[in-house]
Amino acid sequence: MPCIRYRTAISAQTEGDPLPAGVTEQELSTHLTTCLDCHRWSKRLRALRAATDDLLRIRHSGAPTKPV
């Protein structure tokens, strides 16, 4: 199965959505342990999601934003 299918599953999992039809948690886990590119992609996506969540939390808290 091409990596794009697993990356779609990783995206869904990161967003809290169900995995696409035909991809199980076990299959995704196995792929992530055997495919270094997808493993790295998953880590970057999760880090981006966490950073985005942090920024949204700060924005909604009413805290003033700091210039970068």
Does 37 map to a domain? yes
In angstroms, the CA 27 to CA 38 distance is: 13
26 is in which domain, residue-wise?
A: 3-60
pLDDT higher at 57 or 64? 57
Q: What is the pLDDT of residues 2-56, one digit of tens each?
A: 899 999 999 999 999 999 999 999 999 999 999 999 999 999 999 999 998 888 8
pLDDT score for 61: 75
pLDDT score for 2: 86
Q: How many domains does the chain have?
A: 1
Does 51 map to a domain? yes
Q: What is the pTM of this model?
A: 0.76
Does 23 map to a domain? yes
pLDDT score for 41: 96
Does 68 map to a domain? no
In angstroms, the CA 22 to CA 44 distance is: 24
Indicate the residue type of 35.
C
pLDDT score for 63: 62
Does 66 map to a domain? no
Does 67 map to a domain? no
In angstroms, the CA 59 to CA 16 distance is: 22
pLDDT score for 59: 73
